[in-house]
Amino acid sequence: MDRLTVNIEKAGYSMNESVIENVRFSVKTGELVGLIGENGAGKSTTIKAILGQLNWMEGSVNIHTKGAIYGYVPEKPVFYDELTVWEHIEFCGIIQEISNWEERANELIDTFRLGAYIHQLPHSLSKGTQQKVMIILALLPSPELLIIDEPFIGLDPRATKHLLQMIERERAKGTGILMCTHVLDTAEKLCDSFILLSNGTMFTTGSLLHLQTLCQSPGGSLLDCFDYLIEEGTNHGQG
């Protein structure tokens, strides 16, 4: 079952000024899909299109979850200046009308070992701790779809380990995950399939085995395959 289907013909920040074109993919139940591309490839624009944050789009984005609820972890944590960590959680629980938000919050706080920080202002915390807070806010409604943008930037090894464990737990529960990342060696180990973007266009999608086949490189790394396909400029369509 699909958790997310994306069929973007054209999209951008101003009417008829296309930034991304022909981006088509899906994220299934329990599947982790990596959104891969060089700087300026259109990854952030694709995520904004999915979140409904663009001024113009031709095509469709469909979220197939209960109440179209999803969790989103942005690349840069975003907080209200005067709210503590707990007040952020409380606000999200109430505004999203989550009946068991307090029980769920305490469970997540224990999981990420944030009990010592819940009455502090997020801006006083380390990047890794801020990222954990954003993850808690994203997971609070128990979403069936999770969108994560560059999750490993600024995280120390232990925080990275906790994030990876969280991803595996969510997949096991059936959560579909779309992850945008530059950390290709980690993505290679985690992701079921990949969406490769270049110059605002999706030029191929598929598993690592599919990419290796395109490159005629059995056992080739994701980085090697991505580099080869970019250099070749080959549009292989959807795999």
Note the pLDDT tens digit of each residue in 18-37: 999 999 999 999 999 999 99
What pTM was estimated for this model as a whole? 0.91
- From the centroid of its chain, how far is CA 90? 23
Whether the predicted pLDDT of 47 surpasses 90: yes
| Residue 160 dihedral angles phi and psi, to the nearest 5° | -60, -45
Domain ranges (residues) in the chain: 2-70+143-238, 78-141
pLDDT of 235 higher than 70 = no
- Phi and psi (nearest 5°) for 190? -95, -40
Average pLDDT over the chain, rounded to an integer: 91
pLDDT at 67: 83
> What's the CATH code, domain 2-70+143-238?
3.40.50.300
4 - beta bridge partners? Answer: 27, 63
Q: What percent of the chain has pLDDT over 70?
A: 97
What is residue 230's predicted lDDT score, i.e. its pLDDT? 85
